[in-house]
Amino acid sequence: MPGTPIEDLVRAAEATSFHGLLHQMRRAAARYAGLRAEWALASVEARPGLEDTRSFAHDAFIDACNVLSRNMAARGESIEWRRELGDDRKTLGDFACWLTLSLALSAR
């Protein structure tokens, strides 16, 4: 059964030989996804206090994606997953959540 387009992007990113950088990207994704979920569960009054931390984690995840894709490109590995994601912050945040979901499901 074929996956969704986002699942295909997750698999493409995970097909790297840079296991350490992939681990860092997954860790950054999990941190951001957790903060995003915490923000969604927070009261309206508590949300402003979470914004800076969530934004910093989002930036760290985007940086991890960029570091991985630059290294993959330098080694001749496909970075089509990164090109397809583009630079939209919402899309990249969603990708972090999908990576986290993939990681969580693989742990069962």
Helix boundaries (H) for the chain: 5-14, 19-41, 47-74, 80-85, 89-106
The pTM of the full predicted model, rounded to 2 decimals, is 0.91
d(CA 17, CA 4): 23
Task: Give the pLDDT of residue 3.
Answer: 61
pLDDT at position 6: 81
- Which has the closest alpha carbon to 100: 2, 41, 31, 19? 31
Tens-digit pLDDT profile for residues 17-68: 999 999 999 999 999 999 999 999 999 999 999 999 999 999 999 999 999 9
